[in-house]
A = this chain, B = another copy of it.
Amino acid sequence: MKEDYVARSAQLALLLEVSAYPKPGNVSRMRDFEDTHYEHFLASSVAVYPVLREAAASDNGVGRLIRRGVAESMKWQAGGNTHFGALLLLVPLAMAAGACEGHNKVEIKRKAKEIMQNTGVDDAVELYRTFPEAKVKVSTDVPELDVMNEASITKIKEKKRSLCEILTISASYDLISRELVCGFDKTFSYATVLANFAREMSINDAITHTYLRLLSEEEDTFVKMKFGAEKSEYVQERAKEIVKRGYEIKEIGDFDGELIAQGINPGSAADIIAAALFIAVLDGLRV
């Protein structure tokens, strides 16, 4: 069935993304964080399957599905937030993929944008309820609508703010929000980068190369929020050098060690790579 195909493609994307190594600063098959281990990501990828399948069979309920995905993830593993950012992207994309005939990328991209534009107040409320449940660490957020403050939900309801409207505010400083409100441009463009790399090298290397390419071209907003602009610019500069010098494995390893030592994890980049992998797998990428 279509929804099983879509859900499997999204699940494989999550598994391939987290497995790829070395992926500077992030969890991989070779790298656990102190409280969040590789196996927590495996279990979470398993946990969210029924939610991804339901998304592929739905044309509304973005907020509810993301919240359910996070809840399932946390029932199956004790490593905390593993897939919140990835689910933010994958839920509307899976809905779009399920709703389109075939797997035409242009159509899926258009449909995913439409789904986000049609989100309502309920979606916003559900997402706000997810933040504290997911134990997501946020240092900056929509100033007038603090995601960790229960009162924000009342305000959202009073002002009748849709999920898309709220994300439009955070889009100015958050890469994931920007993807969600601006039509998933980066997801689809890096899906193409990834598919091209995969024709020339192993799937593992295609993922790490695409990840580094993304880091070199986009400031990781998660790093910027958590560690400041100087750090996020530094990360981007280092990635640029690595890309320019041809992705030398030793350099990538050193960069990984450096980021890990400082506790810097470019989480937004990993989320976008997972979403890009989903599109590439849907489009026929196989291992």
Contact = CB atoms under 8 A, between A and B. Distances in A.
A105 interface: no
Number of copies: 2
Interface residues of A, number: 31
- What is the predominant secondary structure among interface residues of chain A facing chain B? helix
A178 to B, nearest CB: 29
A64 interface: no
B76 A43 contact: no
B38 A19 contact: yes
Contacts of A12: 42-43, 46, 76
Contacts of A175: none
Given A29-B19, A49-B8, A43 B287 contact: yes
Question: Which 6 pairs of residues, A with B, have the shortest CB-CB distance?
Answer: A29-B29, A39-B287, A12-B46, A4-B50, A43-B287, A15-B42
Interface of A: 1, 4, 7-8, 11-12, 15-16, 19, 29-30, 37-40, 42-43, 45-47, 49-50, 76-79, 202-204, 286-287
